[in-house]
Amino acid sequence: MSAPGAPAGQDGYVVHEGCDHIFFVGFLGAGKSTLARNLGRLFRRDYVDTDRLVERMQCKTVCDIFAQEGEEAFRRDEAAALETLRDRKSLLVSCGGGIVESPACCKAMHEMGVVVYLDGDLDDSLRQIQHPEKRPDLGTPEHARELYLHRRPLYRQTADYVVDIRDKDFEEVAGDAARLLWEEGLL
C-alpha cells in the first residue's frame, strides 16, 4: 500500500522524487540511530549515521577528533559529511546530538528533506547511554543538563515533526514515528 498522493513502486513502497531524506535529531541517547536503522529495514530505505560518516571521512573516532582537534573541527567535519548526502535519495539519517548547533547544518537538512525531533527527558537519555566515555560532548552530569537545556529549543526550532519518546519503549517510539511518517507520505 502506498502513502496517499505518492506513486507506488515495486512491492507497494513509496517512490519519492529528488532528495527526500528524513533526519532524526535529538539529545544523546534518544535512540536516533536505532530508530533510523529499524525503520530503514522495515521500509526498505537506506540509513546512515552522521557520526559514522565523519569517522569514515577522518579515519578517526568522534572521541579522537574531539580530543585531538576540538569540537569546532568536528562540527566542520559534520557539516561536510551532511553535504555528501545531497546526491543521494530517500535516506533515513541519524544525526549527532549537536548537529542543531550549526545553522548551516539545519538549513542543509531542510533543503534535503524533513527533520524529526525525538523529544525526551534528560534522565531518560542518560539512562540509555551505555558508553558515556564515547560521548565526548556529554561531560559531567551538570554539563549534560546545561547542554540539554541549551539544545532543546534548537531541536524544537529545527523540527518539522516531533515524536514524544517520554515513558515509551522502543517499539512504541518506532510505531509512533512510522505511523506519523507514513501518514505524512514520507515513508
CA distance readout (Å), 186 to 12, 40, 55, 168: 14, 12, 28, 23
Q: What is the pTM of this model?
A: 0.86
Say which residue, 125 or 120, is predicted with more confidence: 120
Q: What is the pLDDT of residues 79-111, one digit of tens each?
A: 999 999 999 999 999 999 999 999 999 999 999
Q: What is the pLDDT of residues 42-71, one digit of tens each?
A: 999 999 999 999 999 999 999 899 889 988
Contact yes or no for 71/147 (Cβ under 8 A): no
Contact yes or no for 119/154 (Cβ under 8 A): no
Percentage of the chain modeled with pLDDT above 70: 83
Could you tell me how far CA 96 lies from the centroid of its own chain? Answer: 6
- Any idea which residue has 557520526 for its cell? 51
